[in-house]
């Protein structure tokens, strides 16, 4: 049985870092294990221009712990007022890696998102010409559509027609949560990829709802039936180049998570790699973790594999001895506690060390 696994520093290609005091509190947790992260732009106000992205990147770099080997990859928030030339120029200059499409009202801080796709089609056409990837929160917001069906309906009503109109558009269907999403990415050709989170690999909707509501398991897209979780596990552990890691680690203060109308998001950054190693080993696929977490996403975005390394060690005693990874619990922030995602079991793997 494998007891140690050394892989390149992984990429988190879907990460929420927030801003201000929250940024300073959570950034070290991602920088500890990951070499790069695709940083989401849904701040208030959102990151909508190249200049906004430069300013946000500078705030992230200023908040990094000394000596951290971590590179933020920036994104722009697509609005119906987005200027195509600003997007193309920011991408060409290396300021942004991709553009993010939020359907208005779909998730946290998405009020500025797109309500009518026709109003941004000219921008998407220019992005297609320039090779700018579009990252998509793939859910419809029609109140008549059941929340558990929103991803599958989005693929049918929005994504497939969009890709027929713009067949050259490079698309990432983010945080895939359904068997339909897995099948669509698998059959979609070279121009589409899908990210999968660590928490969707271990949660189904029973974990969220059976025996009581567990707010720290509430995220969007919401966890689905067990058949969908199994489809995600099969996809992530398959080695297929079209799937890669995007944790969607999304910190919210406990006061916001436990409110009468609680926020959506799981803060998984400190435990994501341990969870992945646990899941991949259980599937007999530990040798494919490197492809999923380190290589597939880098290849899609045209990036080199990170030069540094991390070592994962099997056995809970190693994590306790080395103190290399924060387990489930809370992180203190200036504004209150922040709960780390707890899967409800002790992962068999822990990150022992990193080598920049």
CA 351 to each of CA 17, 227, 280, 318, 354: distance values in angstroms, whole numbers, following the listed order: 21, 29, 15, 9, 8
* Whole-number Å distance between alpha carbons of 220 and 48: 22
Q: Name 114's bridge partners.
A: 103
* Whole-number Å distance between alpha carbons of 104 and 331: 31
* Whole-number Å distance between alpha carbons of 215 and 265: 9
Q: Could you report how far apart the first and last alpha carbons of the chain are, in Å?
A: 27
132, 99 Cβ separation under 8 angstroms:
yes
Q: Tell me if residue 248 is catalytic.
A: yes
Spot the catalytic one: 142, 146, 248, 342.
248
Residue 21 has which token pair? 């005091």
Best CA proximity match to 168, nearest among 194, 133, 138: 133
295, 9 Cβ separation under 8 angstroms:
no
- Residue 51: count of CB within 10 angstroms of its CB: 12
Residues 6+ apart with CB under 8 A from 83: 49, 123
Active-site residue set: 248
């Amino acid at each position: 049985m494998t007891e140690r696994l050394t892989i390149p520093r992984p990429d988190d290609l879907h990460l929420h870092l927030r801003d201000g005091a929250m940024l300073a509190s959570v950034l070290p947790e991602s920088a500890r294990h990951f070499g790069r992260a695709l940083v989401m732009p849904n701040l208030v106000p959102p990151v909508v221009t190249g200049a906004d992205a430069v300013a946000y990147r500078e705030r992230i770099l200023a908040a990094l712990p000394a000596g951290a080997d971590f590179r933020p990859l920036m994104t722009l928030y697509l609005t119906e007022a987005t200027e195509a030339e600003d997007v193309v120029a920011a991408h060409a200059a290396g300021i942004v890696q991709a553009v993010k499409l939020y359907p208005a009202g779909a998730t946290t801080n998405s009020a500025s998102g797109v309500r009518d796709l026709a109003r941004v089609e000219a921008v998407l056409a220019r992005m297609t010409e320039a090779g700018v990837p579009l990252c998509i929160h793939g859910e419809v917001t029609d109140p008549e559509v059941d929340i558990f069906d929103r991803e599958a309906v989005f693929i049918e009503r929005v994504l497939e027609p969009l890709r027929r109109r713009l067949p050259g558009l490079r698309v990432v269907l983010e945080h895939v949560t359904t068997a339909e999403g897995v099948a669509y990415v698998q059959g979609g050709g070279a121009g589409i990829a899908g990210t999968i989170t660590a928490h969707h690999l271990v949660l189904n909707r029973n974990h969220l709802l059976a025996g009581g509501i567990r707010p720290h398991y509430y995220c969007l897209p919401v966890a689905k039936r067990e058949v969908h979780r199994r489809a995600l596990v099969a996809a992530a552990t398959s080695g297929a180049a079209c799937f890669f890691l995007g944790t969607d680690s999304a910190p919210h203060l406990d006061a916001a998570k436990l409110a009468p109308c609680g926020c959506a998001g799981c803060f998984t950054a400190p435990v994501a790699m341990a969870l992945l190693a646990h899941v991949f080993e259980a599937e007999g696929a530990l040798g494919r973790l490197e492809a999923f977490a380190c290589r597939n996403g880098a290849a899609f975005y045209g990036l080199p594999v990170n030069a540094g390394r991390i070592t994962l060690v099997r056995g809970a005693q190693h994590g306790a001895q080395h103190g290399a990874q924060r387990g489930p619990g809370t992180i203190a922030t200036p504004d209150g506690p922040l709960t780390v995602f707890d899967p409800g079991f002790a992962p068999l793997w822990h990150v022992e060390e990193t080598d920049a």
